[in-house]
Amino acid sequence: MEKYDQLLISLRQVIRAIGIHSKQLNKKSGLTGPQLMVMTKIAQLDAPMAKQVANEINLSPATVTSIIDRLEAKELVMRKRSQLDKRKVELYLSLAGETLLQGAPKPLQEHFIKRYQALESWEQSQLLSSVERIASMMDAEELDAAPVLVVGQIQEGQ
């Protein structure tokens, strides 16, 4: 087997692992990975606005707004106009959202990050460089991506 075949197999295994975890997350909590990230960030921040959440998780404000719309429809997130500045709309988790978030499984990237951080600094750099090169070879450097491990287009159906 050629080395490029082995590399493509490894990439496919990564994609499949992410897909399996995403399906398990959705089955257990009814949430997608990006929805879980948005809810987690809202819980961590003090009455954030959508733009602040977007900046924190490295997604476009339009994508985050779409995710918040879906979470609001599920009555997991609430929007409230700021008392101090009526132009601002602040985000809060509903009681149902807080309860769901407490019982939700941890995102796949938390497990990955722990293992990655356990590596020596030189090995972390080597892996980062290699994966950045792969992204470049696939003409993927300009694609909108966040540090969340989910399969599919984040903007579609989240």
Three-state DSSP at 92 gives strand
Please indicate, yes or no, if residue 30 is contained in any of the structural domains: yes
Residue-wise pLDDT for 129-151, tens only, equals 999 999 899 888 777 666 655 54
Q: For residue 152, what are the contacts with CB-CB under 8 A and spacing of at least 6?
A: 22
Task: Annotate 30-56 with b (16+ C-beta within 10 A) or e (fewer).
Answer: ebbbbbbbbbbbbeeeeebbbebbbeb
Confidence of residue 158 (pLDDT cuts 50, 70, 90): very low
Does the model's pTM come out above 0.75? no
Please indicate, yes or no, if residue 41 is contained in any of the structural domains: yes
Please indicate, yes or no, if residue 158 is contained in any of the structural domains: no
Please indicate, yes or no, if residue 45 is contained in any of the structural domains: yes
127, two tokens: 């892996």
Please indicate, yes or no, if residue 149 is contained in any of the structural domains: no
- Give the Cα separation of 37 and 45 in Å (integer): 12
- Give the Cα separation of 77 and 59 in Å (integer): 18
131, two tokens: 């994966």
| Domain tally, the chain | 1
Residue-wise pLDDT for 68-94, tens only, equals 999 999 999 999 998 888 889 999 999
What residues make up the domain containing 93? 3-137
Please indicate, yes or no, if residue 120 is contained in any of the structural domains: yes
Please indicate, yes or no, if residue 148 is contained in any of the structural domains: no
Please indicate, yes or no, if residue 94 is contained in any of the structural domains: yes
Between 59 and 95, the higher pLDDT residue: 95
Long-range contacts of 72-77 (CB under 8 A, 24+ apart): 74/30, 76/39, 76/100, 77/38, 77/39, 77/42
30, two tokens: 């009814």
CATH number at residue 57: 1.10.10.10
Report the chain's mean pLDDT, rounded to a whole number.
86
Is the pLDDT assigned to residue 102 strictly greater than 70?
Answer: yes
Whose tokens are 């293992």? That residue is: 115
pLDDT at res. 148: 59
